[in-house]
Chains A and B, each alone.
Chain A
Amino acid sequence: MSIRIFVPIDSGALSVGAGDVAQAISAEAAARGLDIEVVRNGSRGLYWLEPLVEVDTHAGRLAFGPVTPEDVPALFDAGFHEGGMHRLGHGLTEHIPFLAGQERLTFRRVGITDPLSLVDYEAHGGFEGLLKAVGMDGAAIVKEVTDSGLRGRGGAAFPTGIKWNTVLHAAGPDKYVVCNADEGDSGTFSDRMLMEGDPYCLIEGMTIAGLAVGARHGYIYLRSEYPHAFHTLQQAIAKARDAGWLGSDVAGSGRSFELEVRLGAGAYVCGEETAMLESLEGKRGIVRFKPPLPAIQGLFGKPTVINNVMSLAAVPLILARGAAFYRDYGMGRSHGTLPFQLAGNLRHPGLVEKAFGITLRELLLDYGGGSASGRPIRAVQVGGPLGAYVPESQFDVPLDYEAYAAMGAMIGHGGLVAFDDTADMARLARYAMEFCATESCGKCTPCRIGSTRGVEVIDRIIADENRDANLALLDSLCDTMLNGSLCALGGMAPYPVKSALTHFPQDFGIAPVTAE
């Protein structure tokens, strides 16, 4: 029997040379006359070790990384393909502490299977949820999702089951399921990893959503910055259709569900659900007024379920194992797990799926290994470019939707970007406004004009022009944007600005307020 060697095809792994490593391994094996099968898997999410090569053994999979093509002959010399030791070896992959401590539910297959192999998918629990759903009526599926406590993983944390229930009871024969895969938040990549590493999981989740609410057509709105995910999804959809998991007779149920991927075109605001609908309809990505809710009048004016990739990918397991299984993870009203994405200045960046309730300190130090530069971590932006900068004094607050909201921050899509003590928080605050100005859809004045004025005011504060007056102006401007913007882009851009000002005033030339 041939030896199986895994080399990821995830775009993050490819970005640091996994493609060349896979070729080098195949070539070296051929030159040595060895019977080796190279499997292209998703990424395990241990990105500092990418390209991470794994060798299948009787004891489990052995990890080697980061591997360069130049390392390959020495790895074979050391007999790595037969369990031999090498300086790049890390022992059994599952025992690497970064991975061993995780609670992988949504990511249970990512990095383990060949993303496009239906055989692999089914061998690892794939389609169990869909097969259960096929035997249930819509209301029963919706109840299961409601009872699981699943809340929208895109950032807004709205209960998924309640949204589905609205669509289920909306009138009309035509309904849609739209997956928001416009993962534009900087510091986030879990959607990309799942779509590249386990695309059938998303397809299964969307199909279950379609059965639940009575929709026969689904769209995945994918950002154009993800060319690899686009190709993987297209192939996966074609294979799933050929195998009868999609199409006119889903899994022999007699019900139909069609799915297609649509590419965005580089507009951050299209991650806002109504702007995304406009874009799918072939228009400028301009935010709509709500109401009407998309669940009542969404895509092409029809009732539409809109969920993030992570929400939909959690659904198959909820159906397969039952609502209680999922609900028992987490704390308070934050049930289940969240795939946290560790990015920025960290020694061990990557994906950590854990139940809600873990702290930033645990994620940054126990998993992230502290800063890559070796300097103290000064601030962490949690939840994307509109998320607050969290200072060290708040690192012990549990990651729970309500606890974060109470301190004026948000968990969002679970991205963490760490900065060491060389970070200039005034420049980062300016960047937040600049980003908002670049990406504003232009519909509402607070966002369109406010962001540009925000850049100017911060520039004047940094240059010490009439600082006190400009600080008061910035405060008022942030207030206007927070309360007057139509959507979260203008409405939350003040979060990073205000948190930077509050926690790091010295970077703006203001003496910190000391407690008496």
Chain B
Amino acid sequence: MSVTPASVAPPEHRLAAIHAAVDTHRPRPGALLPMLHAIQDALGWVPPEAIPVIAAALNQSRAEIHGVVSFYHHFRTSPPGRHVVQVCRAESCQAKGGVALEEHAKRSLGIDWHQTTQDGAVSLEPVYCLGNCACSPAIRVGDEILGRVSCARFDRVIAELREEVPA
């Protein structure tokens, strides 16, 4: 589930990753979600060229595959920034200042939900509960969950992410 910057994966590498994911999971019953996860884990998103490959492997139409990809919030159809930051919008976080944190996140990054900062460092996503409700408000950065996130802690996290040199 780590997010690799899409910019470093050239199209031919992308196709190789797609085929590897499809071949690995094809024999499993209900293989589609495992395939899509594997592709997104490798590339950071599900690029359009994945759709016909999966459709052919599963003997389904491209429309059916597209329908599944677009149904689930987790799967992205455009490349994310170097880091995906999810801010929890659910009730427990709201009870502990989550709304102010949401607004701060959007304002300080200068973007809205589902957008990426101009320097390509951070994509901002809403999330509806990270199961960290006893340490609200919570955010997720990649596979790391952070709790008791004040606006100041949010800024420190973002500053650290921006300092990280792209691999």
A residues adjacent to B (C-beta < 8 A): 11-12, 14-16, 45, 47-48, 50, 183-189, 191-192, 224-228, 262-268, 279-285, 300, 341-345, 349-351, 372, 381, 385, 415, 417-420, 423, 428, 431, 435, 438-439, 441
- Knowing A187-B90, A282-B30, A344-B92 touch, does A225 contact B140 (C-beta < 8 A)? yes
Contact, CB under 8 Å: B134 / A47: yes
> Which chain B positions have C-beta within 8 A of A224?
1, 37, 74
Indicate if B31 sits at the interface (CB-CB under 8 A).
Answer: yes
CB closest residue in chain A, given B96: A345
Contact, CB under 8 Å: A187 / B73: no
Task: Give A224 to B73 CA distance when docked, in angstroms.
Answer: 10
Indicate if B67 sits at the interface (CB-CB under 8 A).
Answer: yes
Indicate if B130 sits at the interface (CB-CB under 8 A).
Answer: yes
Which of A16, A281, A419, A441 contacts B135, CB < 8 Å?
A: A16
Which of B29, B133, B145, B147 contacts A300, CB < 8 Å?
A: B29
Indicate if B32 sits at the interface (CB-CB under 8 A).
Answer: yes
Contact, CB under 8 Å: A435 / B133: no
Which of B1, B30, B94, B135 contacts A12, CB < 8 Å?
A: B135
> Which chain B positions have C-beta within 8 A of A264?
33, 72, 74
Which of A188, A281, A285 contacts B131, CB < 8 Å?
A: A188
CB distance from B70 to the nearest CB of A (A): 9
Among A185, A187, A343, residue most surrounded by chain B Cβ atoms (within 10 Å)? A343
Which of B36, B72, B132 contacts A189, CB < 8 Å?
A: B132
Contact, CB under 8 Å: A185 / B30: no
Indicate if B160 sits at the interface (CB-CB under 8 A).
Answer: no
CB distance from B135 to the nearest CB of A (A): 5
> Which chain B positions have C-beta within 8 A of A185?
129
Contact, CB under 8 Å: B91 / A417: yes
Which of A14, A16, A189, A262 contacts B133, CB < 8 Å?
A: A189
Contact, CB under 8 Å: A350 / B134: yes
**How many B residues have CB within 8 A of the partner chain?**
42
Contact, CB under 8 Å: A16 / B147: yes
Q: What are some 10 contacts across the A-B interface (CB < 8 A)?
A: A187-B129, A225-B129, A227-B145, A228-B143, A228-B145, A265-B72, A282-B31, A283-B68, A285-B71, A285-B72
Contact, CB under 8 Å: A417 / B95: yes
B residues adjacent to A (C-beta < 8 A): 1, 29-34, 36-37, 58, 67-68, 71-75, 90-96, 127-136, 138, 140, 143-148
Which of B37, B71, B92, B128 contacts A184, CB < 8 Å?
A: B128
CB closest residue in chain B, given A226: B131
> Which chain A positions have C-beta within 8 A of B138?
15
CB distance from A140 to the nearest CB of B (A): 31
- Knowing A280-B30, A417-B133 touch, does A265 contact B128 (C-beta < 8 A)? no
Task: Give A477 to B74 CA distance when docked, in angstroms.
Answer: 30
CB distance from B150 to the nearest CB of A (A): 12
> Which chain B positions have C-beta within 8 A of A351?
134
Contact, CB under 8 Å: B134 / A266: no
Contact, CB under 8 Å: B127 / A225: yes
Contact, CB under 8 Å: B91 / A266: no
Which of A11, A16, A186, A284 contacts B128, CB < 8 Å?
A: A186
Task: Give A224 to B131 CA distance when docked, in angstroms.
Answer: 11
Which of B34, B72, B92 contacts A417, CB < 8 Å?
A: B92
CB distance from A353 to the nearest CB of B (A): 14
Task: Give A351 to B135 CA distance when docked, in angstroms.
Answer: 12
Which of B58, B96, B144, B148 contacts A282, CB < 8 Å?
A: B58
Task: Give A439 to B126 CA distance when docked, in angstroms.
Answer: 12
Contact, CB under 8 Å: B75 / A265: yes
Contact, CB under 8 Å: A345 / B95: yes
- Knowing A267-B73, A385-B91 touch, does A15 contact B145 (C-beta < 8 A)? yes
